[in-house]
Structure 1
Amino acid sequence: MSIFINLIGGLGLFLYGMNLMGEGLQKSTGPKLEKAIELLTSNVVMGVLVGAVVTGIIQSSGATTVMVVGFVNAGIMSLYQAIGVIMGANIGTTVTAQLVSFDASIISSLALGVGIILYMIGSKSKPNLKNISEILIGFAILFIGMEFMKEAVAPLSKIEAFRNMLQGLASHPGIALLAGFAMTTCLQSSSASMGILIALASQGLMPLSGALPILYGDNIGSCTTSLISSIGTNKNAKRAAVMHLTFNVIGTILFMIVLNKPISMIVTHLDPTDISRQIANSHTLFNIINVIILLPFSKYIVKIVMKLIPDNGDEEYDERATKFLDERMLETPSIALGNVVKETLRMGRKANETLECSIKAIRENSQEDIQKTFDKEDIVNQLQKKLIDYLVKLSKKSLDDKLIEQVDFLFNTVNDIERVSDHSENMAELAQDLINSNANLSKEAKDEIAYIYEKVTKVYTLSLQAMKEDNKELAKEVLGLEEEVDCMEKSFRSSHMERLNKNLCKIDSGIVYLDLLSNLERIADHSTNIAKRVIHSK
């Protein structure tokens, strides 16, 4: 019982250290992770490189493939781009096994000491220092957990029955493969499975011939994370998850039948006496060789998956549903935040459509456009609720100061965009009032509304562009244009009062006109709120 408890304790430290190191690396790289993925083109080789680098940073191939499922679900990434990232993720996940296969007790002790010192002297004004401390502390805890696991399984080497059972796996590779699959499925981490495997091997309990099938099974088991994450997604996202499984299954079959002996010979030649290094090198070679062999056939893997999950044209697009938000991404905050920006900009475009419909309703006395305005405003309201809910969940994650500032920025921006849509709805209601009272704006009033609307639309669209590009100069231009809107509003009010005095305009339509001016001016105000936040952001 004590062996099991110590093993669980060591595994817990191992997983915590891996997660802590991954979080520190994520915070250090920040938005660069998202930019790296956005650099993807149809070039599958670039996808492999990005997948390997990103997985090396976040310390989890499962997290990377879940991320890919989310991107495909949002339409950000095609299946042909996804296959490259998935292949690269398998390479990136070998980093952890390589690290823990070395005897790095001195280095890990030094990393722990330096990490704790940096953490203690780090502050809010020095977030990078704290991020580095998390990387070092996580690295040290990872090795401490590994040592715990090695010590926990050491007594098992004296139990003959247990030794015989593990030795028997070498002659039953099918069972060994299933054991590796089951272990990774339960732990939801192929790195943790590899850690346990290396711990057993280091105590002389696991021969290389038995470890290899378990290693292959680990790779298949790592697919369960993305398969589970694809539940409830669109067909393309499900295809991405199945693509991961297909790639690993084909690779496993290839190695079990053809390449098992060659890989054994290579790793034994590289490290004749160190079984831990042999297993880590086998893991790395398996994934690299698998990518090299199957990369030229990546298009065919996509076609296989398309056959397995055919497109029957039965999926409907709901405009009220978010396109870029995915709770799976919350585990990678910098990526999640980038997706929130995309969804916020999408919401902004929907609010602009609401404004366009409301103005058209005014110009043409159109009942159809009044209804369109109400329908589109409801879509904006739904998107706002979902964005706020997602931002609340994101704010509860481990964020550095810059990410916290960006979350606050988006909270306020989402609300400003929703208010733009509200003012557009108000204008549609004013159009309804004109229809109900059989009233019309004068030609001069319509021309003035069209003129100020054009300026307000420019203010609004530029504010969103400034947010998208984080362009402070563009944001300052918005402030200048908003002052022009204020001047127009005052001038047009004055002109309207003259028309009223000369009886050129009816009282009822005159009140509607003034309300229209107020709503348009308020839209410009909310636009400048967005621009001001861009200017004051760090």
Structure 2
Amino acid sequence: MEIVASLFGGLGLFFTGVKLIGRNLQHMVGRRFRALVARATGNPLTAALAGTALGVLTQSTNAATFIVINLISAGALTVRRAMPLVAWANLGTSVLVILAVVDLRLAVLYLLGVTGLCHYFDLDSSARWRHLVGALLGLGILFLGLQLMKGGAAPLRELAMVQSALRFAASSEALLVLIGAAVAMVAQSSATVSVLAVTMASAGLFGEEATILLVLGASLGSGATTWLMAGNLEGTPRQLAVFQALFKAVGVAILLPLFLIESHQGVPLLRHAIDGHVPDLAHRAAAVYLLCQLVPALVLAPVYGPLARLFDRLLPASRVEVLSRPAFLYDQALVDAESALPLVEREQERLIRHLPDYLDSVRAEPPAAQPVPPDELHAATGSVARVIDSFLTELLDAPLSRGALERGVLVKTRQEIVVSLNDSVHELVRTIAAAPPEVRAQPLTGNLVESLHALLLTLAEAAAHPEAESIDLLIHLTADRAELMERIRRTLLRSETPPPYPVQQALFAMTILFERHVWLIRRYALLLRPEGGEETG
């Protein structure tokens, strides 16, 4: 039982450490680092270094891919320039595997002592240091878990049952590859499985051949997991997931045949090259994992362009994905803050142009083209709105002239109104969709929807061309409608045959939302005036 407890406890510490490292390092990959990564993709060498650094910091190809997808969504990268980042991030994740073969017993104890002191002095509560402290604690816990597993695994060699199981697994090369693949699919990480395989090899449970096959199988299982996940994705996320699966498959497709040919034919290839330069079994297994990441990165480098074009043709971006990408904003624009303000205004205009699209799904006569589902449209425009908010925050923190600062504050106020309008129109559409079917048949519903559609089209025209005539027209159309809405509500209650209560509830909610839309549109129209929102008689 002591052996089982050591292995189980060590495994628990290992997985806890992996989670702590990944979670805290991802928080350390801030906007500036992402901007640096995006700029580095212009050169193959710097792209490789940036991708490797991304893998080292995240220790997860899934997390690295997610960050790259965010950069693409923000318009900072294309799929073609993202591919080397994803490819070389795999190499960065090999750091854990390499460290697993180093004797770090004393270093781990010192590391845990340092992190304990950091917690005692409340550095873990500091916004500046807490993620670094968390990552160091995770590293210490991870290697402490590995030491426990090594100590617990050594006595297993003497057990007859374990020897029989190992002989059975070693009797079939295919079985070892499948075991490595299966465990990687469960753990969703080839690095994690490879670290465990190296640890078991250090304890004498596996020989060189078995360990190498397990590592290759883990890489294959990681690629299979990514391929399966790609089935639920579309557009750019699916392209990068398929690329990651292809990356893993290429590495195994090259290295596994070399290993098998050498093993069966005696031709000096992979193992001969590794054995001649690497001293012991654990280091050799780590070298195989490193080659699984390095070889496909080098092989695929010349074909990034053709692959990107092929993916664009076979796995095109969806309408929602295109909508969720900023069309005008990019990080480099922040270098000249004052010239970036017009870009924010153009991005706002783009958001406003999509506001009438929400109503296409509830209008009596929808457009000829299939409308984007309201929830998907809201997610996409909300993503752009968050990019605008973040961009504006950095913009207003930069040194600006007085005129530019006033304009920036005005743009930020307009942005708040656009976000409120975006949420309110979405809420109106959801209210209509969730209401009883009789609500759609009510003349009031059609009138409110068509009136709001006309107001939003007028708002889009005024935002794109803020001329005095169009602004005044919008202000006139959005005069106070509270009395009219109240009269409509009283009519609903006092009619001889009032609609059922659920229908009344839905209609009341719609009139309140309509009032809110009119008020928000009027506020935006007033802010389009040169005098900055003052209402004239």
Smaller-chain TM-score bracket? 0.5 to 0.7
Q: Distance in 2 between matches of 1:415 and 1:55?
A: 36
CA shift, 1:248, in A, is 1.8
Q: Within 1, Cα distance between the matches of 2:345 and 2:105?
A: 49
Equivalent in 268, 271, 278 of residue 264 of structure 1 = 271
TM norm structure 2: 0.61
**Pairing of 1:303-382 with structure 2 (within 5 A):** 306=311, 311=314, 317-318=319-320, 322=324, 348-353=348-353
- Find 1:520's aligned residue among 522, 525, 528: 525
Bigger drift between 31-40 and 9-18 goes to 31-40
Q: Where do 1:242-261 residues align within 5 Å?
A: 242-258=242-258
The correspondence of residues 198-237 of structure 1 with structure 2, limited to 5 A, is: 198-237=198-237
Q: Among 283, 287, 292, which residue is 1:281 paired with?
A: 287
CA distance in 1, matches of 2:349, 2:381: 16
C-alpha deviations, 1:97-118, integer Å up to 9, x for none? Answer: 1112111011111111111211
Q: How does 1:119-130 map to 2 (within 5 A)?
A: 119-122=119-122, 126-130=126-130
Name stretches of at least 5 consecutive residues in structure 2 with no aligned partner: 263-267, 327-343, 358-362, 387-393, 395-411, 429-447, 456-465, 476-518
- State the partner residue of 2:497: none
| Deviation of 1:38 (Å) | 2.4
Provide the rounded CA distance (Å) in 2 between the counterparts of 1:447 and 1:252: 63
Counterpart of 2:314 in 1: which secondary structure?
coil
Unaligned runs of 5+ in 1: 325-343, 358-367, 392-401, 403-410, 434-445, 457-513, 529-538
| Match status 1:418 vs 2:419 | yes
Name the Cα RMSD after superposition.
5.0
Change over 3 Å in CA distance of 1:349–1:226 after alignment to 2: farther
Q: What CA deviation, in whole Å up to 9, does each residue of 1:498-528 have, x standing for no partner?
A: xxxxxxxxxxxxxxxx998765236789x99
The structure-2 alpha-carbon separation of the partners of 1:11 and 1:77, relative to structure 1 and needing over 3 Å to count, comes to: farther
Q: Is the 8 A contact 1:21 1:134 kept in 2?
A: yes
* Residue number in structure 2 paired with 1:26: 26
What's the CA shift for 1:450?
A: 5.0
1:345 deviates by: 9.2
CA contact (8 A) 2:146 2:199 kept: yes
AA partner of residue 279 (structure 1) = A
Query: Aligned residues, how many?
Result: 402
Match of 1:92 in 2: 92
Distance 1:318 1:134, change over 3 A: closer
In 2 relative to 1, CA 165–417 (structure 1 residues): closer, same or farther, beyond 3 Å? same
1:193-238 residue CA offsets vs partner (Å, 9 max, x unmatched): 1222022111111111111111111112222453344343224433
Whether the aligned pair in 2 keeps the contact of 1:44 and 1:80 (CA below 8 Å) is no
SS in 2 for 1:89: helix
Deviations 1:231-253 (A, max 9, x none): 43224433322222222222212
Counterparts of 1:18-57 in structure 2, within 5 Å, are 18-39=18-39, 41=41, 43=43, 45-57=45-57
The question of whether the paired residues in 2 share the 8 Å contact of 1:15 and 1:142 is answered with: yes
Q: Is the 8 A contact 1:7 1:148 kept in 2?
A: yes
Which of the numbers 362, 365, 383 marks the counterpart of 2:378?
383
Cα pair distance change 1:25/1:74, threshold 3 Å: closer
Question: For residue 362 of structure 1, what is the aligned residue in structure 2?
Answer: none
Pairwise CA distance, 1:67: 4.4
Is the Cα contact below 8 Å between 1:46 and 1:84 reproduced in 2? no
1:291 alignment counterpart: 297
Q: Residue 246 of structure 1 aligns to a residue in which SS?
A: helix
Residue number in structure 1 paired with 2:138:
138
| CA–CA distance in structure 1, aligned partners of residues 131 and 157 of structure 2 | 40
* Alignment match, 2:389: none
Q: Match of 1:206, SS?
A: coil
Residue deviations 1:475-518, cap 9 Å, x none?
A: xxxxxxxxxxxxxxxxxxxxxxxxxxxxxxxxxxxxxxx99876
1:352–1:66 Cα change, 3 Å: closer
What is the DSSP-based 3-state SS (H/G/I as helix, E as strand, rest coil) of the residue aligned with 1:148?
helix
Segment of structure 1 superposing worse, 20-29 or 244-253: 20-29
> Partner amino acid for 1:120?
Y
Corresponding residue SS for 1:127? coil
Partner of 2:391: none
CA apart distance, 1:87: 1.8
With over 3 angstroms needed to count, the CA separation of the structure-2 counterparts of 1:451 and 1:129, relative to structure 1, is same
- Residue 282 of structure 2 aligns with an amino acid whose one-letter code is S
Describe the superposition over 1:95-146 as per-residue Cα deviations: whole angstroms up to 9, x where unpaired. Answer: 0111121110111111111112112223588322323321221111011111
- How far 1:89 moved relative to its partner? 2.1
- TM-score when scaled to structure 1? 0.61
Helix, strand or coil at the partner of 1:23: helix
Corresponding residue for residue 103 of structure 2: 103
Please give the secondary structure, in 2, of the residue aligned with 1:222: helix
Aligned to 2:173: 173
**Is the 8 Å Cα contact of residues 108 and 143 (structure 2) preserved in structure 1?**
yes
